[in-house]
Amino acid sequence: MKFIVLTGHRKSGTTMLHKLFDGHPELNIYPVDISLLYAFYPYWVKKELSEDDIKKRLALIIKKSTAKISGKQISNKINQFDSNEFFEVLWGMRTVYGLNTPGAIVKSVAKAYCQYAQVEESKPFLFKETSQVVNLQKFLDDGLDIKMLQIIRDPRDNYASIKDGVSHYYKKMGESEIESLASLLNRAKLDLEISKHEVIAKTPNFFTVRFEDLVVEIESVMKLIVNQLNIGWDDKLLEPTMLGEDFFGNNHSGKKFKGISVENLGRWRERITNAEACLIEGWMADVMQFWGYNSEYKRSEQLRALADFYAWYNSKYFFKDSFSV
């Protein structure tokens, strides 16, 4: 089986890119995230759990991650998706491929979904998940015939999109604005650094596209993408949909965008503070420049922002009171 993985840092535009492929006749598309790649692997894999506990954890992840497609038609033969029925098929795959590595998870989910949906397994299996460039070499080590498309976004705009969701989404998970920013600094920097390495190394079957280019020149960029993926053109690639229904985006501001929107493109100056922008630039200036995003603040301003962040970062995660010992 061949695989296509769409990835990028959270709120970088990966979901929109994923929905552009919806309904492509040459692909089998997993309609939601393969959440097992972070909600089970690696944390739960390393825990010493009983078979029953593993099954309960996996069933919970599948139920929650597929909630948006519950009861919906996913193929010509399955009119109503049932997460419990799909999970039982997936659980059976555990004895065939296992679920202890990223590659094993992808193979198990792909095989189970194709069997459950009763679709041809000869088509490439396309899926989406956040920050999977870190697992690219593991996928290859597991022998996957894989193509990976990484979407790149200006990290200042990227954080602005995340910041919109802190008060009513990430806060529920115990994440404040500064913790969301810290997450972006660490994980987006890693995504961009590894992607830079893979591009320079000319890693076969690894491609990138900038979010800014995609939303401004969607047709020309999507035609380049399908050529790289060796699949045919289809006008469906110009409109994001989910299981054939209109997709209105997943932004945290509450706005519904039909099709591709450029409304927030380059608006980070209005949406985040100068200090936040200075910090992002100070942390990522080198890799930002590689991807074509220029800094707008002086290095002295960036360093001041870095110093302030260090004080919080060290106190939050690394400070040990040696004087009380």
Give pTM, 2 decimals. 0.92
Three-state SS at 273: coil
The reported pLDDT for the residue numbered 169 is: 66
Nearest to 81 by CA among 19, 105, 89, 126: 89
Between 179 and 257, whose confidence is greater? 179
Between 126 and 259, whose confidence is greater? 126
Q: How far apart are CA 111 and CA 120, in angstroms?
A: 10
pLDDT greater than 80 at residue 255 = no
The reported pLDDT for the residue numbered 63 is: 98
**Quick one: pLDDT band at residue 256, thresholds 50, 70, 90?**
low
Amino acid in position 217: E
41 beta partners: none
Cβ contacts of 293 within 8 Å, gap of 6 or more:
154, 155, 156
Two structure tokens written together for 14: 């990966």
The reported pLDDT for the residue numbered 258 is: 59
Q: DSSP letter at 272?
A: S
Residue range 137-168, pLDDT digits in tens:
999 999 999 999 999 999 999 999 999 887 67
The reported pLDDT for the residue numbered 279 is: 97
**Quick one: pLDDT band at residue 175, thresholds 50, 70, 90?**
confident
